[in-house]
Amino acid sequence: MTDFSAGSLSGIRVLEAGQLLAGPFAATLMADQGADVIKVEAPGAGDPMRQWGRTDGTSLWWPVVGRNKRAVTLNLREAEGQELFLKLVAEADIVVENFRAGTFEKWNLSYERLKEVNPGIILVRVTGYGQTGPYSNRAGYGSIGEAMGGLRYILGDPDRQPSRAGISIGDSLAAMHATVGALSALQRRNVTGEGQVVDASIYESVLAMMESLVTEWDVAGYQRERTGAILPNVAPSNVYPTKDGQLILIAANQDSVSSRLFKMMGKPEWSEPGHPYSTHVGRGKAQTELDELISQWTATIDAEDLLEMMDTGGVPAGRIYKAADMLADPHFAARESIVQVPDATFGQLKMQNVVPKLSATPGSIRWTGPALGQHNDEVYGDLLGLDEATRTDLAARGVI
């Protein structure tokens, strides 16, 4: 029997009825903290994530997003499958789904029906546009939520079309907000005994991260634009070249920090009262010329020497890491930011560890993404008490 003794969410059972990334990543975050996550997939192919991020035809993404979960197959489009799902709901605390709004209702799995079998159930619904409003029935992927939420417009260089992040950031932000909602609802249930619906949309999850963008436009008519590697009027904070052809990010925009940088550069007078570079506003106005002056200086120093100078002088700086840099970095190793996990297909896989780190009840990666339906017997047999003959019959008829 699978062990769920470790982690702050030990004792909490989550049913994940979703696919791709937004809903499943929310369940991953809870599974990492010890929740018993049962992933429900359609018989056959299962979650498309099982085929994404491939090498030699085998997914390297699924082991990460599917980690710490038990996998069962179940046909939610059939009445018999729906009834079996309700039996699982009766044994669960949280249901996560990220189908288009109205899909669960079409499958006779509305919140009202879930509540009939489990008054304390928390239904977490992750969609592109939310459960209400004129766009609620539209199909919504993370990329569309990033565009509508304001992120895409400000990403990239000003002389080019809007760019995108190299990751599915909209889906991941929705998953994180969905998880916050789920845990908030769980705390409320601890007080009242009642569950509720958590309505997390991708576009609003992105919008929530947009700082003062809307307020600036509303009050001052100021529209943030694409600015490439910088934030306007925040200087110096940019990527600078080194003598040996490297790029180092230096963030010295605070007054006390910029003064330390200027002293290292042999320009202590730049921090003296009255100098244009002595204040945050002044440095912001002179951002382009200041970056050029710093670049001229850094280009005379090798990267490792520059980083040592910055560290000794108390100026935040660092390399722009790729995966190979992370795997070689002693700080990553000391904090176990990346761990090696046994995997049935690859033997061992390195992946990011659980975040955040809890001192008393740390989460853990107990296993990588399981095979499709791997835990059918364990869940339907041990948890629901269905005998082997019943399970064999349900499988033969495509219900599980």
Catalytic residues: 171
Question: Rounded to the nearest 5°, which phi and psi values hold at 241?
Answer: -80, 155
Rg (the chain; Cα; Å): 25
Given a contact cutoff of 8 angstroms between Cβ atoms, the answer to whether 20 and 13 are in contact is no
Tokens of 228: 């490439």
- Contact (CB, 8 A) for 186 and 94: yes
From 119, 133, 89, 121, select the one nearest 107 (Cα to Cα).
89
Please answer whether residues 84 and 397 qualify as being in contact, where contact means their C-beta atoms are separated by less than 8 angstroms. no
Q: Give SS3 for 379.
A: helix
Phi, psi of 350, rounded to the nearest 5 degrees: -95, 135
Kindly list the distances between the CA atom of residue 373 and the CA atoms of 71, 75, 157, 305, 395, in Å, as whole numbers in the listed order: 5, 12, 46, 54, 10
SS3 342: strand
Indicate if the alpha-carbon torsion angle 350, 352, 354, 359 is positive or negative.
positive
Any idea what the Cα angle at residue 397 is, between residues 396 and 399, rounded to 5°? 110
Give the contacts of 59 (CB within 8 A, at least 6 positions apart).
49, 50, 51, 52, 53, 369
Burial class (CB in 10 A: 0-12, 13-18, 19+), 15: buried
- Helix (H) or strand (E) holding 148, with range, is helix 142-148
Instruction: Supply the DSSP string of 299-319, one letter for each residue.
Output: TTS-HHHHHHHHHHHT--EEE
Which residues are within 8 A (CB) of 167 and not within 5 positions of it... i.e. 6 or more apart?
Answer: none
